[in-house]
Amino acid sequence: MDRRLLRLAAAAFSLAAAAAVNAPASASSGPAAAATLTAAGAGAFTCAPPRLTAPEGAVVESVTATAVAAGTFQVPGTPPLGGYPVADVPAHCEVTVTLTHPGAADRARVQIWLPESGWNGRFRAEGGAAYAAGNIGAVAAAVKQGYATATTDAGVDTGGLDSSWALDPQGRIDRALLQNFASRSVHEAAVVGKQVVGGVYGRAASYAYFNGCSTGGRQGYVEAQRYPTDFDGINAAAPGINWNQFEVATLWPQVVMSQEHTYPTGCEFDAFNRAAVKACDKLDGLADGLVSDPNRCDFDPRRLIGTTVVCDGKEYTITGADAEVVRKIWDGPRDSRGKRLWYGLPVGADFSYLAASSTTDGVTTGVPFTVPAQWVAQFVQKQPGFSSANLTYPQFEEIFRKARAEYDTVIGSRDADLSAFRDAGGKLLTWHGDSDQLIPTAGTVDYRKRVEALMGGARKVDDFYRVFLAPGVAHCGLNDVDDLAALTAWVEHGKAPDVLHATLPTADGRTVAREVCRYPMVSRYTHGDPDAASSFRCVKS
252 and 197 together in one domain: no
Evaluate whether 23 touches 86 at the Cβ level (below 8 Å): yes
Domain boundary among 372, 392, 409: 409
Catalytic residue among 185, 214, 258, 523: 214
Q: What pLDDT band is residue 159 in, cutting at 50, 70 and 90?
A: confident
pLDDT one-digit tens code per residue, 70-91: 999 999 987 767 889 999 999 9
Q: What is the pTM of this model?
A: 0.92
Which residues make beta-bridge pairs with 431?
Answer: 468
Catalytic residue among 232, 436, 446, 483: 436
What pLDDT is recorded for position 311? 85
pLDDT one-digit tens code per residue, 127-143: 999 999 999 999 999 99
191 and 290 together in one domain: no
Rounded to 10 degrees, the C-alpha dihedral 163/169/172/174 comes to: -60
In a domain, 528, yes or no: no
In a domain, 449, yes or no: no
In a domain, 97, yes or no: yes
pLDDT one-digit tens code per residue, 27-38: 222 222 223 333
Give the mean pLDDT of 164-186. 97
> What is the secondary structure of 263-305 as a DSSP string?
---HHHHHHHHHHHHHHHGGGGTS-SS--S-GGG----GGGGT
Evaluate whether 507 touches 277 at the Cβ level (below 8 Å): yes
What pLDDT is recorded for position 43? 54
| Residue predicted with more confidence, 77 or 166 | 166
What pLDDT is recorded for position 139? 97
Strand, coil or helix: 98: strand
**Residues in contact with 55: Cβ distance below 8 Å, sequence separation at least 6, in sequence order:** 99, 187, 188, 191, 192
Give the rounded percent of residues in the chain with a pLDDT score beyond 90. 86
Asked whether the predicted pLDDT for residue 42 surpasses 60, the reply is no
pLDDT one-digit tens code per residue, 179-211: 999 999 999 999 999 999 999 999 999 999 999
168 noted as active-site residue: no
475 noted as active-site residue: yes
151 and 274 together in one domain: no
91 and 3 together in one domain: yes
In a domain, 305, yes or no: yes
255 and 200 together in one domain: no
In a domain, 20, yes or no: yes
Give the rounded percent of residues in the chain with a pLDDT score beyond 70. 92
Count of domains observed in the chain: 2
Catalytic residue among 475, 483, 523, 535: 475
Asked whether the predicted pLDDT for residue 366 surpasses 80, the reply is yes
Q: Is residue 258 within a helix (H) or strand (E), and if so which, with residue range?
A: helix 252-260
Strand, coil or helix: 14: coil
Give the mean pLDDT of 256-283. 96
Backbone angles phi, psi at 7, to 5 degrees: -65, -40
Evaluate whether 329 touches 344 at the Cβ level (below 8 Å): yes
Q: Which domain holds residue 378?
A: 246-409
307 and 191 together in one domain: no
In a domain, 480, yes or no: no
167 and 252 together in one domain: no
158 and 14 together in one domain: yes
Asked whether the predicted pLDDT for residue 273 surpasses 50, the reply is yes
> Comparing C-alpha atoms, which of 295, 266, 273 is closest to residue 508?
273
214 noted as active-site residue: yes
Helix (DSSP H) and strand (DSSP E) numbers for the chain: 15, 21
In a domain, 49, yes or no: yes
145 and 266 together in one domain: no
Domain boundary among 389, 409, 429: 409
Asked whether the predicted pLDDT for residue 522 surpasses 90, the reply is yes
Q: Residue 200: count other Cβ atoms within 10 Å of its Cβ.
A: 26
Asked whether the predicted pLDDT for residue 23 surpasses 50, the reply is no
In a domain, 184, yes or no: yes
289 and 167 together in one domain: no
Domain boundary among 138, 172, 205: 205
